[in-house]
Amino acid sequence: MSELFNLEIVNPEKSFLSADDVKEVVVPAYEGEMGILKNHISIISFLKPGIMKIYRNNAEEKFYIEDGILEFKDDTLSILTSTVIKLDKLDKSFIDNSIQEAEKSLLKEGITDQQRFLISQKIDSLKSIGAN
Amino acid sequence: MPSLDDLKKRIVSVKSTQKITKAMKMVAAAKLKRAQDSAEKGRPYSEKMNKIILNLSENISDKENAPKLLIGTGSEKVHLCIILTSDRGLCGGFNSNIIKKAKSFFEKITKEGKTLKIITVGSKGYDQLKRLYKDKIIEKISFKESKNTNYFDAEKVGNMIIELFLKNEFDVCTIFYNKFKNVITQIPQEQQIIPLKSSEPDNSSSESNYEFEPEEDEILSNLLPKNISTQIFKAMLENSASEQGSRMSAMDNATRNAGEMVDKLTIEYNRSRQAAITKELIEIISGAESL
């Protein structure tokens, strides 16, 4: 029995990644990191900014992901996200810019606690990427 | 009877117009390829999004307290219409088709005694509607600066709609755009986005019980605003592909018509040139005879 399942990552502009040989995906779900293997129960959840790890072909791929919705059903994992970037393609200036923008929006009036939480998550994860 | 010189000038001018339309056709063809690509690539996202939301709304236990964006405000008094058009002209019937469709919808609504509010996206739509519906237009948006259709623009429009909705400015929201079928055919569409209407009855009876993390309503309240931006983005992508396709065929027609005109004018030019020569000859001959 194979233990692989299908993965599909789409962003508004295009289908970002589509694979059928994925062993495990670890995503930054809203209520904490979540690892998904084959035969996972059907689930819908959404993501917070962080690092997504995909294990396939005995290798690990890392992506920075900003937000998104995740659906797992019939051994197919679909992730809808507006921003997903492979970690090695992330450059320093982008990180700095995003952090600055996020910090600015944190100062805006009238943001909800939830937004504040998401933004500070974004800053943290970006900073940790930048440090490496 | 125009003189030879006039004819010559007209031929030259039609020819240079033809050059322009030909160039515009080429540009549109090149842009069409890109726009079509992104429209097709964008489809999975919006389809997936719709599917997830449908699954969610079926699974929702407490239908009474479902988010307003999903079930609506309960009344249908105020309609908001988003008219998506292009910023540039010279694209055949592209803009007029959307406007025509929208206008018939407007008439229906006003007949039923409901209030109408309009947001135009793209300057051409505003130009065509401002004469009749000026007092109804509450906002006009134009993305002349951004070269390609991008998600951020759609998000801006989406956020604006949601803000208006939360202020109870309207009950039902419908968007109008052109769906790209192929280069020759674009179909004007109306799509209701608030409250959400499942466009096709869901046959794939999804009895799978989902696990939700966090709770259903929290996911829904997060997802629905996103879905609105996504639907608008989809409409914008379809629209830009349609615009280029429509412009391409319009410019193709224009080029062909210019070619026909040049042919006709050339024949006329040659005829009158010959007539002039014949006339001169006759004059010389009859002058010689009279001697």
Q: What is the DSSP string of B53-103?
A: HHHHHHH-S-STTS-HHHH--S---EEEEEEE--SS--STTHHHHHHHHHH
Contact A14 B38 (CB under 8 A): yes
**Residue numbers in B near A42 (CB within 8 A):** 208-211
Task: Say what the pTM is.
Answer: 0.81
* Residue ranges per structural domain of chain A: 5-86, 91-131
CB of B158 within 8 A of CB of B228? yes
**Residue numbers in B near A71 (CB within 8 A):** 48, 52, 55
Report the alpha-carbon distance of residue B75 to residue B81 in Å, rounded.
16
Amino acid identity, position A104: K
Distance between first and last Cα of chain A: 38
Within a domain: residue B10? yes
Helix runs in chain B, H state only? 4-59, 68-71, 94-111, 123-133, 151-166, 216-289
Looking at the fold, whether B238 and B188 belong to one and the same domain comes out as: yes
B17 is written with which tokens?
């117009």
Q: Which of A65, A52, A47 is nearest to A24 (CA)?
A: A52
CA-derived radius of gyration, chain A: 15
Looking at the fold, whether B56 and B162 belong to one and the same domain comes out as: yes
Report the alpha-carbon distance of residue A121 to residue A67 in Å, rounded.
11
Looking at the fold, whether B70 and B114 belong to one and the same domain comes out as: yes
Within a domain: residue B91? yes
Nearest to A10 among B45, B55, B56 (CB): B45
Report the alpha-carbon distance of residue A93 to residue B111 in Å, rounded.
56
Q: Which of B74, B133, B76 is nearest to B99 (CA)?
A: B133
Q: Determine the residue among B45, B49, B232 to mutate to test chain A binding: the one whose Cβ has the most chain A Cβ atoms within 10 Å.
A: B45
Looking at the fold, whether B256 and B179 belong to one and the same domain comes out as: no
Evaluate the CA torsion angle A32, B69, B163, B143 in order and state its sign.
positive
Range of the domain at B10: 4-21+251-286
Question: What is the predicted pLDDT for the residue at B207?
Answer: 53
Residue B141 forms beta bridges with which residues? B121
Q: Is residue B14 pLDDT above 90, yes or no?
A: yes
Q: Kindly give the pairing relationship between strand B78-84 and strand B172-180.
A: parallel
Looking at the fold, whether B78 and B152 belong to one and the same domain comes out as: yes
Question: What is the predicted pLDDT for the residue at B205?
Answer: 47
Q: Which residue has the higher pLDDT, A71 or B270?
A: B270
Closest chain A C-alpha to B41 CA, distance in angstroms:
4
Q: Helix (H, G, I), strand (E, B), or coil: what is residue A2?
A: coil
Looking at the fold, whether B207 and B266 belong to one and the same domain comes out as: no
Distance between first and last Cα of chain B: 32
Q: Determine the residue among A7, A10, A41, A79 to mutate to test chain B binding: the one whose Cβ has the most chain B Cβ atoms within 10 Å.
A: A10
Looking at the fold, whether B231 and B108 belong to one and the same domain comes out as: yes
pLDDT tens digits, B122-175: 888 888 898 888 888 888 888 877 777 788 888 888 888 888 888 888 888 999
* Residue A39 region by backbone torsions, left for phi larger than 0, else alpha for psi between -120 and 50, else beta: left
Using CB atoms within 10 A of its CB, is residue B167 exposed (0-12), middle (13-18) or buried (19+)? exposed
Q: How far lies B19's CA from each of B173, B212, B255, in Å?
A: 43, 60, 8
A50 is written with which tokens?
């962080």
B269 is written with which tokens?
């030019």
Active-site residue, B173 included: no
pLDDT tens digits, B94-103: 999 999 999 9
Domain count of chain B?
2
Mean pLDDT over each residue of chain B, to the nearest integer: 85
CB of B80 within 8 A of CB of B173? yes
Q: Helix (H, G, I), strand (E, B), or coil: what is residue A96?
A: helix
Q: Determine the residue among A40, A46, A70, A101 to mutate to test chain B binding: the one whose Cβ has the most chain B Cβ atoms within 10 Å.
A: A46
Question: What is this model's ipTM?
Answer: 0.71
Looking at the fold, whether B228 and B145 belong to one and the same domain comes out as: yes
Looking at the fold, whether B282 and B170 belong to one and the same domain comes out as: no
Q: Which of A45, A42, A70 is nearest to B209 (CA)?
A: A42
- Given B60, B91, B241, B265, the catalytic residue: B91
Stated as kind and residue range, the H or E segment containing A35 is: strand A32-36
Question: What is the predicted pLDDT for the residue at B26?
Answer: 94
Q: Which residue has the higher pLDDT, B54 or A74?
A: A74
**Domain spanning A5-86 has what CATH number?**
2.60.15.10
- Cβ-Cβ contacts under 8 Å between A and B: the total is 72
Within a domain: residue B135? yes
Amino acid identity, position B20: I
Looking at the fold, whether B106 and B216 belong to one and the same domain comes out as: yes
Contact A14 B55 (CB under 8 A): no
A9 is written with which tokens?
């990552």
Closest chain A C-alpha to B56 CA, distance in angstroms:
8
Nearest to B52 among A41, A71, A74 (CB): A71
Report the alpha-carbon distance of residue B39 to residue A8 in Å, rounded.
18
The arithmetic mean of pLDDT across residues B253-267, rounded, is: 95
**Residue numbers in B near A31 (CB within 8 A):** 213-214
Per-residue pLDDT of chain A (132 residues; tens, 9 = 90+): 578 899 988 887 777 888 888 999 999 888 888 899 988 888 888 888 888 999 988 888 888 888 888 888 888 898 888 888 888 777 788 888 888 888 888 787 777 777 778 888 888 888 777 776
Residue in chain B nearest A34 by alpha carbon: B213
Q: How far lies B280's CA from each of B196, B277, B287, in Å?
A: 79, 5, 10
Looking at the fold, whether B80 and B178 belong to one and the same domain comes out as: yes
Q: Which CATH number is B207's domain given?
A: 3.40.1380.10
Side-chain half-sphere CA neighbours of A92 within 13 A: 2
B5 is written with which tokens?
């010189």
